[in-house]
């Protein structure tokens, strides 16, 4: 039995069937206008019998479980260009595309991408909510093919999907919500440079010298949309969406720029230094912060004060959970010059977090309303942006300059940052050699 308001019917239907409940189960849909202050509440009484019947009288019918297997399609045209154009129209009409051109996931292209993993093609990696579609390794390869990916991207895509579908990430909340959020994936380890994943200038994209993040992120979006049903107004009620949803955000930490007394994000997540790992979190926005100078003590304080002011923008996403000790209020990206300047002035990473936490205060009345006041007791006076300094994550990335910082504010759902190991296939060296043949030598770090 589902109860919802007008507009959310399909989202709830996806979620209900995605959790393997009977598709024919009853649901009650209340008019959207009823939720406007001062509106007519008569539908509550008028639909009471329907509600009671659904809760007490309905019984599911026994149905044999059906398994839907993918089939190949053939698109013909007068020439290759015509067939390609028709393929894009075919995918778009079936809501398999995002509106931008796709690369047809032909059998040969998918087979080539499967060289990027030693996992069997039919291994089920996850179910993507709310629709609950199961995705296999071959499904990941097909979506990566659509995004123009390469086989050496497969290990990172697999780890990213594992992190996003980990229970603590709660992608089942991220996908359908009205919030305009999306996953961010941060990669650590040598694999980042090996696949040309950006960590320096323009690391959030686009960057034709480091193209991996765009393809991997777009493949993730195809999975959230196709298997998860996240089509606007149907499986996702994100009010605004946003340009970042086309490719999400996939980038690498600038490990060469991390001060020697600071730990990379992957180590904070429990991996040994130098390990290949992908870490994911739900983000609702990215905000550029002008500043970042840390050449002298005074400029460092000004930089941190400016960051704290931006971080203190009221957001109910973090405070919506009754207790979220491991969750992050967001991720602060700082460039290597800022990080190294702070370190040289005696600022450890933990000291920076503590300083920001003490100054990033929020007025409770700006994040709590009468209907949300039960989420957490706001107490009196300014409220810290997170339960502890651990709720502020810092990642070193971007160019060598120090003129800007970036605050990525938390989205909906995640209990904490989730990570997965990036496992390389036996043919890794061969794949990298082919990449160098195709794309040229690796760019300088």
Farthest CA pair distance, the chain: 72
**Under DSSP, is residue 50 helix (H, G, I), strand (E, B) or coil?**
helix
Residues 6+ positions from 400 with CB-CB distance below 8 Å: 200, 201, 257, 335, 336, 337
Q: Which secondary structure element, helix H or strand E, spans residue 183, and what is its range?
A: strand 182-188
Q: Would you say residue 291 has pLDDT above 80?
A: yes
pLDDT of 374 reads 45
Give the model confidence (pLDDT) of 232-280 as tens digits: 988 898 999 999 999 999 999 999 999 999 999 999 999 999 999 999 9
Choice between 14 and 339, residue whose per-residue pLDDT is larger: 339
Q: Are 296 and 259 a contacting pair, CB within 8 Å?
A: no
Q: Average pLDDT for residues 351-376, to the nearest whole number?
A: 74
167-177 pLDDT, tens digit per residue, is: 999 999 999 89
Comparing 90 with 374, which gets the higher pLDDT? 90
Give residue limits of the domains in the chain: 2-56, 156-368+377-421
pLDDT exceeds cutoff 60 at 158: yes
Model pLDDT, residue 20:
67
Rg of the chain in Å (alpha carbons):
24
- Whole-angstrom Cα distance, residue 121 to residue 141? 9
Res 379: pLDDT: 54
What is the rounded distance in angstroms from the CA atom of residue 186 to the CA atom of residue 278?
Answer: 6
- Regarding beta strands 418-421 and 330-334, do their DSSP bridges make them parallel or antiparallel, or are they unpaired? unpaired
Tokens of 86: 């028709």
pLDDT above 70: residue 103: yes
Task: Please report which confidence band the pLDDT of residue 337 belongs to, taking 50, 70 and 90 as the band edges.
Answer: very high
Per-residue pLDDT, 368: 61
pLDDT beyond 80 at 2: no
Closest C-alpha to 405, from 315, 303, 330, 282: 303
* Confidence label for 321 from pLDDT (cuts 50, 70 and 90): low
Identify any residues that bridge with 126 across adjacent strands, giving them in sequence order: 135
Most confident listed range (35-39, 59-63, 99-103): 99-103
Q: Hey, what are 263's tokens?
A: 């730990």
Q: What is the torsion angle, in degrees rounded to the nearest 10, for the CA atoms of residue 113, residue 118, residue 120 and residue 126?
A: -80
The answer to whether the CB of 235 falls within 8 A of the CB of 229 is yes
The model carries a pTM of 0.88
User: Distance of CA 356 to CAs 20, 107, 239, 267, 282, Å?
Assistant: 44, 51, 31, 21, 21
pLDDT in tens, 381-440: 688 888 899 999 999 999 988 889 999 999 988 889 999 999 999 999 999 999 999 999
Burial 36-50 (b: 16+ CB within 10 A, else e): eeeeeeeeeeebeee
pLDDT of 376 above 60 = no
């Amino acid at each position: 039995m589902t109860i919802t308001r007008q507009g959310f019917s399909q989202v709830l239907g996806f979620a209900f069937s995605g959790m393997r409940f009977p598709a024919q189960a009853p649901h009650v849909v209340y008019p959207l206008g009823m939720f406007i202050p001062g509106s007519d509440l008569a539908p509550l009484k008028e639909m009471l019998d329907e509600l009671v019947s659904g809760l007490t009288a309905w019984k599911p019918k026994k149905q044999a479980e059906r398994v839907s297997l993918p089939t190949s399609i053939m698109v013909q045209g007068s020439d290759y260009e015509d067939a390609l154009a028709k393929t894009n129209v075919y995918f778009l009409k079936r809501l398999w595309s995002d509106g931008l051109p796709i690369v047809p996931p032909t059998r040969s292209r998918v087979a080539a991408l499967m060289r990027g993993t030693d996992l069997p093609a039919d291994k089920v990696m996850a179910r993507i909510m709310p629709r609950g579609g199961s995705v296999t390794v071959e499904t990941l390869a097909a979506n990566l093919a659509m995004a123009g990916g390469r086989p050496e991207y497969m290990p990172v895509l697999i780890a990213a999907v594992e992190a996003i579908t980990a229970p603590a990430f709660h992608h089942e909340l991220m996908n359908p919500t009205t919030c305009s959020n999306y996953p961010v994936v941060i990669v650590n380890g040598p694999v980042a440079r090996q696949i040309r994943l950006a960590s320096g200038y323009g690391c959030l994209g686009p960057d034709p010298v480091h193209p991996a993040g765009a393809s991997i992120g777009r493949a993730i979006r195809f999975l959230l949309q196709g298997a998860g049903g996240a089509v606007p107004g149907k499986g996702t009620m994100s009010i605004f969406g946003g340009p970042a949803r086309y490719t999400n955000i996939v980038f690498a930490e600038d490990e060469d720029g991390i001060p020697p007394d600071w730990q990379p994000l992957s180590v904070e997540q429990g991996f040994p230094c130098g390990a290949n790992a992908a870490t994911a979190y739900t983000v609702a926005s990215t905000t550029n912060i002008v500043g970042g100078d840390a050449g002298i003590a005074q400029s460092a304080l000004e930089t941190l004060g400016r960051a704290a002011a931006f971080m203190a923008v009221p957001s109910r996403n973090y405070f919506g959970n009754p207790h979220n000790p491991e969750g992050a209020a967001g991720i602060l990206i700082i460039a290597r010059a800022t990080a190294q300047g702070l370190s040289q002035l005696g600022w450890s990473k933990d000291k920076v977090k503590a300083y920001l936490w003490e100054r990033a205060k929020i007025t409770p009345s700006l994040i709590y309303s009468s209907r949300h006041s039960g989420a957490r007791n706001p107490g009196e006076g300014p409220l810290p942006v997170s339960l502890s300094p651990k709720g502020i994550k810092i990642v070193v990335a971007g160019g060598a300059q120090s003129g800007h910082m970036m605050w990525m504010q938390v989205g909906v759902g995640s209990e904490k940052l989730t990570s997965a190991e990036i496992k390389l296939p036996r043919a890794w060296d061969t794949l990298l050699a082919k990449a160098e043949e195709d794309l040229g030598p690796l760019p300088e770090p």
